[in-house]
Amino acid sequence: MGMYKYLKRNWENNEEYVSLIKNRLVQFRRQPVITVVDKPTRIDKARRLGYKAKQGFVIARIRMHKGGRSRPSIARGRKPSKYGLRHFSTTLNTRAVAEQRVNRKFPNLEVLNSYYVADDGKYVWFEIILVDRSHPAIKSDKDIAWITEKRGRAFRGLTAAAQRSKNARRKARR
């Protein structure tokens, strides 16, 4: 087994990792909602999703609220039960929404992928792998150069999180 497989196994079922993440959550809560980090928290997961430790790759951590989504209420003139305020769910999952928010914050970067980091009772944290489309190191790398062709992967539903949302919606319609 390689190093990354051991890291994955530790992440999945090790009590030391659980206590480490609980300590890190204290720091995560004090940070801004979207933070650029130096290194991925889960290096094995980031590498599986396409991250490379080279120029042109950026990792951003985002904090998202848990729970149902609120819908703006109508002022008057309708029956309250028909407002549609209860049981309102967005078409995208939380991770896909997180990718879009980070992409709005960094419009010159392209979202490659994202992964779960941690959660508590109120928030859930994801790390988003971003790629600088115009960086020479990215353009010359044959493995990732395809990302320079079109813009807005997160908004066009081409990331893994958005694809999962699409498939869930398709299954629900059947």
Range of the domain at 112: 27-70+77-173
Read off the amino acid at residue 32: P
Residue 85 in any domain: the answer is yes
Nearest to 128 by CA among 13, 50, 17, 67: 50
Which CATH number do you get for residue 31?
3.40.1120.10
Number of domains the chain is built from: 1
Residue 18 in any domain: the answer is no
- Chain-wide mean pLDDT for the chain? 86
Token representation of residue 164: 């999962």
What pLDDT shows up at residue 106? 96
* pTM metric for this prediction: 0.83
Alpha-carbon gap, residue 18 to 20, rounded angstroms: 5
Token representation of residue 61: 């951590």
Residue 40 in any domain: the answer is yes
Q: What is the pLDDT of residues 49-65, one digit of tens each?
A: 999 999 999 999 999 99
Residue 7 in any domain: the answer is no
Residue 6 in any domain: the answer is no
Tell me the percentage of the chain whose pLDDT exceeds 70: 87
Question: Phi/psi class of residue 50: alpha, beta or left (left: φ > 0; alpha: ψ in -120 to 50)?
Answer: left
Check whether 174 has a pLDDT greater than 60: no
Q: Residues 121-129: what's their mean pLDDT?
A: 95
Alpha-carbon gap, residue 35 to 112, rounded angstroms: 17
Residue 16 in any domain: the answer is no
Residue 11 in any domain: the answer is no
What angle is formed at CA 44 by the lines to CA 31 and CA 35, rounded to 5 degrees? 15
